[in-house]
Copies of this chain bind each other. A is one copy, B any other.
């Protein structure tokens, strides 16, 4: 499982406060804790006004890189900032994200074409979020055409199927799991990722919805998640699912994660 640590994000109130107050210690601690929890990438999202975004990102990225060499997931709704922002990063990470909306892809793909950068691709376009799996796959195929034209290998792409809230869904996450299966069938080396919290919007005890959601998506072929890796319950279930899905020989990753104190209490 490829874990993208979500905590350095200005849309999280405590992180927003730390950004506003230039609280270096707090941002460093978020980086350190997520790395200790074996995050593969650290998402960095400023979530400030556009004119302050680049300088805020630079401040965040410099802080993170002074703590760790775990690569950055560069997170912004504004595709035009990535070209500059990747120059702040010491090593290639993930662009989070592009989609078929506007000219996002044509702005971003040329920039990362001959680099080691990976990219999260949301399955939506100018008409918004597709209503079903079939329409998501239509958008997906358009994205892959673009990727091919820029020679971006499928293994560098993290597909995000775009999850909407469960409480208004008529068939649960059927369209999401169907999308994941089809995407992995079409491109076995591609990655599939998702956040874990949109799904539970407006529902009580959101953690249960979030956790079951990630496990069911893993069962459909998802191999990455944008989560808080310091949440032991979520992380433990994910390591368990990896072993159950036959992706962890002799459960050694699960056992070692326990021994390293990532979840549970070593006896």
Could you tell me which A residues sit within 8 Å of B by CB distance? 166-174, 177, 199, 203-205, 207-209, 211-213, 215-216, 218-220, 233, 236-237, 239-241, 243-248, 250-251, 254-255, 258, 263-264, 266-267
Contact = CB atoms under 8 A, between A and B. Distances in A.
A70 B167 CA distance: 30
A205 B167 contact: no
B172 A240 contact: no
Contacts of A243: 166, 172, 209
Chain A facing B: main interface SS: helix
A215 to B, nearest CB: 4
A208 B167 contact: no
A194 to B, nearest CB: 13
Q: How many copies does the complex hold?
A: 2
A95 B255 CA distance: 37
Nearest to A235: B208
Contact of A240 (B168, B211, B258): B211
Given A166-B251, A167-B250, A219-B219, A244 B204 contact: no
B263 A236 contact: no
Contacts of A168: 250
Contacts of A255: 203-204
A66 B68 CA distance: 63
**Among A166, A211, A220, A240: residue with most chain B CB under 10 A:** A240
Contacts of A241: 212, 215-216
Nearest to A177: B219
27 contacts: A166-B243, A166-B251, A167-B251, A170-B246, A172-B245, A172-B247, A173-B245, A174-B245, A174-B246, A204-B258, A204-B267, A205-B236, A208-B236, A208-B264, A209-B243, A211-B237, A211-B240, A212-B215, A212-B237, A212-B240, A212-B241, A212-B244, A215-B216, A215-B219, A215-B241, A216-B241, A233-B233
B166 A263 contact: no
B240 A209 contact: yes
B263 A208 contact: yes
B219 A254 contact: no
